[in-house]
Structure 1
Amino acid sequence: MRYDVYTPLLLSLLLSVVAPVVCGRVAPALAARALTSAAVLTAAATTWSLVLLTAALLGDAPPVVREARENGRPLVDPVPEVIGVAAGVALAVVGWRVCRAVRAERRTRRALRRLVAGRPADTELIVAASEVPRAFAIPGRPGRILVTSAMLGALEPPERRVLLAHKRAHLTHRHGALVTAATLAAAADPLLAPVRSAVVFLVERWADEQAAAAVGDRRTAARALARAALTAGRARAACPLNFTDRAVTRRIAALRTSPPPRLWPAAAAVLALGALPALLAADATGDLLGLLTHALS
């Protein structure tokens, strides 16, 4: 309890350091799934560690202290009281951050669904007349692809196929769910913010690879990315593929090389890194229960 309860926080830092390395060396589909799973496990473990640190204050509760003294048993304080109080405050902050993240995700989804409200249910592609170059993959049942006329007009026919294949990959592989899971994990554990950024980048790379495979030409996919970014820059709008120039440059460079290997051992190591905090948190739980049981029995 004295050490295990703190290790999930340290492992959060380690996972954040590992995430950028995994981004460039493991196939995007595998890396995105592994990092998201590890982030969710680690965030759950760190949150539970805060619960344990707060629960340790129960050892100072008057009924527990009184009964332990009546039975002549020594009462071991598992953590200093100040740490327990700080953990309680941190736990409240975590709850507030997660609730805020959930509300933001819901607002975003409602706003996207309003853009396609009233359209026929069997229509996947929706073209909106607009001078702003944008493209969205809108998850749901059914999933929709919304593209503005300005974006379509800026791309050549092969590049349009790349764009549509990219957005279709987001819907097919439920990338929105992965990003949401990573976002909530980072809300619960701010140390995981770099992991969330890595997952966002990886799902875009994943969609890039799917688009390149769909059109059968990686150079065309890279050219479509570059043209979309340049068009958005001229229009002074947010990049329609939702990335900064540096990230787009990295994606274009990746498409000009061979697809990265799957590297299952690296993905397994990431998953093990995510499972370790959960195991340590479980061990700390057993230690705390043992201390309280000893004091009350």
Structure 2
Amino acid sequence: MRFDVYTPLLLSLLLPLVSPVIGRRVAPALAARVLASAAVLTAAATTWSLALLGAALLGDAPPVVREAREEGHRLADPVPGVIGVVACLALAVAVWRVQRALRAERRTRRALHRVCAGHPADTELIVAASEVPQAFAIPGRPGRILVTSAMLGALTPAERRVLLAHERAHLTHRHGPLVSAVTLAAAANPLLAPVRSAVTFLVERWADEQAAAAVGDRGTTARALARAALTAGRARRACALSFTDRAVTRRIAALQTTPPPHLWSAALAVLALGALPALLAVDATGDLLALLGSALT
């Protein structure tokens, strides 16, 4: 209990350090999945560790102390009271952040579904007459692809196929729930914010690779991405599409090289890094229950 309960908090510092390396050297599909899974496990473990630190204050509760003294038991103090109080405050903040993230997700989802209102259920592609160059996938059942006329007008027919294949990959591989999961993990544990950024980038790289495979031309895919980014860049003065130049440049550079390999050994190491905090939190739970049990029996 004395060490296991703190270790998940310390291990959550390692995942953000390895995520950029995994993102560069492992295939985007595999890297996004393992980083998201590890982030969710780590966030759950660190949140539970905070709960355990707060629960340790139960040993100082007057009824517990009184009963232990009546029975002649000695009460151990595995967690200083100050740390327990700080853990309770941190846990309250984590709960508030997760609730805020959930509300933001629901607002975004409702806004996107309002855009699709009035279109037939079997319509996958929605073209909006707008001078704002924009294209994105709308998760759900059914999933939709929204593209503005300005974006379609800026691309050649081959580049349009790339665009649609990219957005279709987001829907097919359920990138929306994946990003939502890692977003909630980062809300629960702010130390995981770099992992969320890495996964968000990787799902775009994943969709780029899927689009390149669908059209059979990595060069055309890179040109479509570059043209879309330039078009969006001009519109950004009017507060339009939120592309980031650094991410787009990295994605274009990646499409001009061979795809990264599926390094299963590295992926398993990341999963182990995510599973270890969870195992330590389980062990700390057993220690706390045994400690409280020995004081009351």
**What TM-score does the superposition give when structure 2 sets the normalisation length?**
0.98
Question: Secondary structure of 1:137's partner?
Answer: strand
Partner of 1:65: 65
Aligned equivalents of 1:239, 1:178: Cα separation in 2:
25
Q: Distance in 1 between matches of 2:190 and 2:240?
A: 26
- Paired position in structure 1 for 2:170: 170
Structure 1 consecutive aligned stretches of length 4 or more whose deviation exceeds 6 Å: none
What is the CA distance between 1:243 and its match in structure 2?
3.4
- Amino acid of the residue matched to residue 7 of structure 2? T
Give the total of aligned pairs: 296
Please tell me the residue identity of whatever aligns with 2:257: T
What is aligned with 2:80?
A: 80
Q: Structure 2 CA distance, aligned partners of 1:58 and 1:18?
A: 37
1:43 paired to 2:43 = yes
Structure 1 contact 37–271 (Cα < 8 Å) conserved:
yes
Aligned to 2:10: 10
Partner-residue secondary structure (3-state), 2:258:
coil
**What is the aligned partner in structure 2 of residue 264 from structure 1?**
264
1:238 offset after TM fit, Å? Answer: 6.0
Amino acid at match of 2:228: A
Equivalent residue for 1:220?
220
Structure 1 unaligned blocks of 5 or more:
none
Identity across aligned pairs (percent)? 82
Deviation, structure 1 residue 46: 0.3
Separation in structure 1 between the aligned mates of residue 264 and residue 258 of structure 2, nearest angstrom: 18
- In the alignment, what sits opposite 2:188? 188
Distance 2:186 2:235 in 1: 32
Query: CA offset at residue 74 of structure 1?
Result: 1.1
Read off the aligned partner of 1:79 and give its amino acid letter: V
Q: Does 1:23 align with 2:20?
A: no
Give runs of aligned pairs for residues 123-138 of structure 1, distance below 5 A. 123-138=123-138
Report deviation, 1:67. 1.3
Shift of 1:230: 0.4
Counterpart in 2 of 1:105? 105
Task: Determine helix, strand or coil for the equivalent of 2:259.
Answer: coil
The Cα of 1:72 is off from its aligned counterpart by: 1.5
Cα deviations across residues 179-222 of structure 1 (Å, max 9, x unaligned)?
00000000000000000000000000000000000000000000
State the superposition RMSD in angstroms. Answer: 0.9
Partner of residue 204, structure 2: 204
Q: Is the 8 A contact 1:38 1:271 kept in 2?
A: yes
Contact 1:5 1:281 in 2 (8 A): yes
For normalisation by structure 1, the TM-score amounts to 0.98
Do 1:229 and 1:239's aligned partners in 2 also have CA atoms closer than 8 Å?
Answer: no
Decide which moves more: 98-107 or 228-237. Answer: 228-237
